[in-house]
A and B are shown apart, each in its own frame.
Chain A
Amino acid sequence: MPILHNVPLTLSIEQLPRRQGVGELLNLRPEMITLLHELLNSVDELHLLEPVIAYELHSITEMQHDRLCLKDGTAFHGQLLPSFLKTARELAIVVCTIGPRLEEKVTDYFKRDEPLQGLLLDGIGSTAVDSLVQEVCQLIRHEASSRGYEASNSLSPGMPGLPLSEQWQLFQLVPAEQIGVHLTSSGMMSPRKSASMIIGIGPDMPTWTEAQACDRCSLKETCHYRVYTHPEATT
């Protein structure tokens, strides 16, 4: 049951615009950029990030078009995993979080009638989770490589073809409570700035860009946070 505490995350101002829903830094007014710098500094000064990862590797025993079974008997339902991870031999089951401190600070800003600071800091938190997910993918790539395999990108409950209800199975396979993440009665993660994911390990694992993942999302027409596909990135 590997658990990694104090995962180093480096956030730069250039990473932040997407999760602020503004696309590029150029789209923000100078005073907003100044405020973002101040908030980013406060993240360090107030130790608002406590990045931690829990993961577990599980062998796959059976795969049908709408079901994937693991050695311990757990089955994930839906077509997403079998269709994307046809050649996978194992799954890495991962839960990670930046902890509750940042979102508590966001709530505090809204309570103090400083919604702009709250909104911008919330976006910084989402960017931190994105970075943490990248760290997870790097970690699992190393695990896969040590077995002579590749690792896929991450897939999460709630994506088309992997119902959100599969979150319960996922949480039975990884010691999430040991890193302070739990599910509410409706299957939502608390702290909110957390991510749960499944990564395939095996030969010829598929990878995709963030823009390609956005293209598959049911909210792609309206989402302010989507990453747009550049023509040369389309495969």
Chain B
Amino acid sequence: MNKVKQISEAIVQLKWDEIAALTNEALEAEVPALEILNQGLVPGMSVVGTKFRNGEIFLPEVLLSARTMKTALEILTPILSQQDTPSMGRVAIGTVKGDIHDIGKNIVVSMLEGNGFEVMDLGIDVDTERFVEVVRDNNLQILGLSALLTSTMPMIEETIKALEKAGLGQKVQVIVGGAPVTQAYADQIGADGYGADAVAAVEKARDLIAT
């Protein structure tokens, strides 16, 4: 099995304790860092996402695979930066005003970072004005909005409206998620994407940035 294939398998098999050595071995064998990323790590995470959707693996395992990928990325990023390779994308994410739940948002943050995104974690109970300010002042591709309760979910719509009112609706693409949020609700409030779970959120972020 070639080095890149081994790295891809390590992601799928959750070999978090072997990934650093495998990545370094590939680099020593003069496999380009970008090839390790695009033909090893990314396809590996794609398989993990498919297995999760099919119910073959569960969220703790997905998080471990993301952690495995992040370990490899920590080795590759300095090299990729020297080559002016852009990151997967820049994302800001927070739980909306009035909502203090953070576990779901934290999992999405870990998954995004594990997949090579730069992430600004805005925390919980985030004011609409803060979201607007962050979008205005930063070069972001994606804004993630999370709510866990039906009572706080309307603040997602409020935030999207505030972005539009501030003339920032076209500057960033908004992905929404959280237990009560549905695709229908996301469509109704004019969100650009909906993440049913952390894996779907990462895939949606990748899709939106690619289009």
Contacts and interface: CB of A to CB of B under 8 A. Distances in A.
26 contacts: A20-B58, A20-B59, A20-B60, A21-B59, A22-B60, A27-B58, A107-B102, A110-B106, A115-B67, A116-B63, A116-B64, A120-B60, A122-B103, A158-B149, A164-B149, A164-B151, A184-B98, A184-B125, A186-B98, A186-B149, A186-B151, A188-B98, A188-B152, A190-B100, A192-B101, A219-B179
Contacts of A11: none
A214 interface: no
B99 A115 contact: no
Contacts of B168: none
Given A27-B58, A29-B61, A32-B61, A186 B103 contact: no
Contacts of A28: 58, 60
Nearest to B58: A22
B96 to A, nearest CB: 10
B2 to A, nearest CB: 26
Contacts of A202: none
A172 interface: no
Nearest to B67: A116
A113 B60 CA distance: 14
B110 A21 contact: no
Nearest to A36: B60
Contact of A29 (B14, B63, B110, B151): B14
A118 interface: yes
Contacts of B38: none
Contacts of A190: 100
B103 A106 contact: yes
Interface in B166-192: 179-180
